[in-house]
Structure 1
Amino acid sequence: MTAPTRIRRMRTKGWSLAGAADLFRGGMIVDRSSRFGNPCTVASMAELGYVDPHAAAAANFRFWLAGSRSDAPTDEADRRRDRILSDLHLLRGKDLACTCRYDQACHGDELLRRANMPADELRQWITVVRARVDRQRIRAGEKPLHPEPQAVQR
C-alpha cells in the first residue's frame, strides 16, 4: 500500500473526496474551510510582498504549528493550534485534500508529515510544542494553556 498523500480539492461539479482519496485509506479535507486550515493566508503573504506567497504561507504554518507565537501572539491562535495538535492523530494514514495546486507549497504537506510520525514521537513532539507555547505565554504575562501538574503533597 502507498503512503498517504496530498490531493487537490476541486470545487467542480462531480468532484468528491471519496472519489479522489484512496479507497481504503480515505481522506480528510484540510483547507481553510476545515479545522485544520492554515490561519496564515496566501493573500496576506502577497500583501507583505513575498515572491512566492504559497511557500511563505506554508512556511509560516510550519513555524506556527511548532509553537512560534511571533506572528500570532493571541489566545485565539494558541487555542486553534492546540486544537490542531489534539486532532493530528485523526489525519494519520489518510490522504489530505487542500485547494493548493500540486506544484505549490501547502500546509497540508506539514500536516501529512506530522500526522504520520510514529505515535510516540508525535506525542513527544506535541508535548514539546505545548511547553514552548506555555513558556512564551508566561514571558508575555499570560497564563499557560497547559500548566504543569501540581506535585502531590504527602
Structure 2
Amino acid sequence: MECTTTPRRVQRTRRRGEPGMPPGAKYIGRGSRHGNRFKVGEPLPWPYSARFDEPVLIADRQMAVLWYALDLKATVGALYLACRDLAGHDLACWCAEGDLCHGDVLLPVTNAPEDSAEQMLDIVISVLAYGREFPYGPA
C-alpha cells in the first residue's frame, strides 16, 4: 500500500460521534511501545538519574521531549523498531495539536530515508537541546 499523504501527528479524542483513533493511525501515547516515559514534573527515570547526586526534575515539555529523543538514540534497537512500526503512518497521542510532543520527534525520524534516520534524530536532538524553534512541528 502506497502512502499518498505526508504522515502527521493527530490527537486522540473521546468526543461523542468521533472516532477515538483515526483509521490507519498508530498510537504512540504512554503505555505503547513508543510512548514517552519522561513526564513533566517527575524525576528522571533510571538509568539517567544515576548520573546525578540529587533528583533532577523534568522541568517542561521541551525537556521531556529532549530526553525522549536522547533515550531513542541511546536504547539499542529503539530507532529501528520505531522506523519499522511507524513509517508512513499518522501518529496518534493525547497531546493537544500545536503543543510540542514526542510524536514531533518520531515523525521526521521514522519517515526519513532508511539510511538517514539516525542523522535526522541527531538534527532533532540539536534543535531541542539548543532551544531553537522546532522545524518539523508541532503540527
Shared fold (TM-score greater than 0.5)? Answer: yes
Q: Hey, what does 1:86 align to over in structure 2?
A: 81
The separation in 2 between residues aligned to 1:121 and 1:60, in whole angstroms, is 21
Give the structure-1-normalised TM-score: 0.57
Q: Hey, what does 2:62 align to over in structure 1?
A: 55
Contact 1:35–1:84 at 8 Å: present in 2 too? no
Gaps of 5+ in 2: 44-55, 123-139
SS of alignment partner, residue 2 of structure 1? coil
SS of alignment partner, residue 97 of structure 1? strand
User: Which structure dedicates a bigger proportion of its chain to helix?
Assistant: 1
After superposition, the CA RMSD in angstroms is 2.6
Contact 2:82–2:110 at 8 Å: present in 1 too? no
Aligned length: 104
Q: How far 1:86 moved relative to its partner?
A: 2.4
The separation in 2 between residues aligned to 1:49 and 1:107, in whole angstroms, is 14
The separation in 1 between residues aligned to 2:58 and 2:87, in whole angstroms, is 35
Alignment pair present for 1:101 and 2:96: yes
Q: Which amino acid aligns with 1:44?
A: E
The separation in 2 between residues aligned to 1:49 and 1:37, in whole angstroms, is 16
Query: What aligned pairs does 1:4-153 form with structure 2 within 5 A after superposition?
Result: 4-14=7-17, 15-17=19-21, 20-21=22-23, 26-44=24-42, 48=57, 50=59, 53-67=60-74, 78=75, 82-83=77-78, 85-122=80-117, 125=118
Gaps of 5+ in 1: 68-77, 130-154
The separation in 1 between residues aligned to 2:82 and 2:64, in whole angstroms, is 21
Which one has the largest radius of gyration?
1
SS of alignment partner, residue 42 of structure 2? helix
The separation in 1 between residues aligned to 2:58 and 2:32, in whole angstroms, is 27
Contact 1:30–1:36 at 8 Å: present in 2 too? yes
* More divergent stretch after superposition (4-13 vs 31-40): 4-13
Give the structure-2-normalised TM-score: 0.62
Q: How far 1:88 moved relative to its partner?
A: 2.3
